[in-house]
């Protein structure tokens, strides 16, 4: 003979099953219908978008009086691997503006201009306006083994970040 609450237990189990199925269905419905809305497409026609500045224009911008324009031109020329910019970039390593010097160093590193290694390594030790990380980055991009002897002393630096970059 089964206890009388057996039927109550069976009824409760059925109710739990129904609740679980409904809960799963609701969760699935919510996930399907709550996807993020797609980003609106650019309404400006392709031909009206700002055109990329030519390399020759960027070379002219290296002589700009505007510090921001000069420093941005250094970075863009380096990322484009514009070899014609190397002589001007070398001269910008002596610019009075720290952002321009930093941009020129990074660009020369991108261009793998090994003739600039000594000048960039000199800035690593002498430029008090830019962080040493900038010049370490430039030397790392250059991949010039001759820079190793100038980087090695940084391994003894108290600054853990500099030591990490030097490695």
Q: What is the pLDDT of residues 33-80, one digit of tens each?
A: 555 556 555 544 444 344 689 999 999 999 999 999 999 999 999 999
Among 157, 158, 146, 83, which residue's Cα sits nearest to residue 120?
A: 146
How much is the mean pLDDT over the chain? 81
Residues whose CB is less than 8 angstroms from the CB of residue 152 and which lie 6 or more positions away in sequence, other chains included: 166
The mean pLDDT value for 135-146 works out to 89
Give the single-character DSSP code of 56. Answer: H
Structure tokens, 116: 């600039």
The mean pLDDT value for 22-34 works out to 60
- First-residue to last-residue Cα distance in the chain: 80
Question: Cβ distance 97 to 67 under 8 Å?
Answer: yes
Choice between 140 and 49, residue whose per-residue pLDDT is larger: 140
Q: How far apart are CA 7 and CA 14, in angstroms?
A: 11
Would you say residue 11 has pLDDT above 60? no
Residues whose CB is less than 8 angstroms from the CB of residue 12 and which lie 6 or more positions away in sequence, other chains included: none
pTM: 0.67
């Amino acid at each position: 003979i089964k206890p009388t609450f057996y039927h109550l237990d069976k009824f409760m189990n059925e109710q739990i099953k129904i609740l679980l199925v409904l809960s799963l269905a609701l969760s699935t419905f919510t996930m399907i219908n709550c996807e993020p809305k797609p980003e609106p497409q650019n309404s400006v026609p392709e031909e009206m978008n700002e055109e990329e500045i030519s390399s020759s224009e960027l070379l002219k911008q290296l002589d700009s009086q505007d510090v921001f324009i000069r420093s941005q031109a250094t970075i863009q020329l380096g990322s484009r691997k514009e070899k014609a910019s190397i002589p001007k970039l070398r001269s910008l390593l002596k610019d009075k503006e720290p952002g321009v010097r930093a941009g020129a160093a990074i660009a020369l590193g991108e261009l793998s201009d090994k003739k600039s290694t000594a000048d960039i390594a000199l800035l690593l030790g002498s430029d008090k306006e830019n962080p040493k990380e900038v010049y370490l980055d430039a030397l790392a991009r250059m991949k010039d083994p001759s820079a190793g002897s100038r980087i090695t002393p940084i391994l003894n630096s108290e600054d853990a970040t500099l030591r990490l970059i030097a490695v």
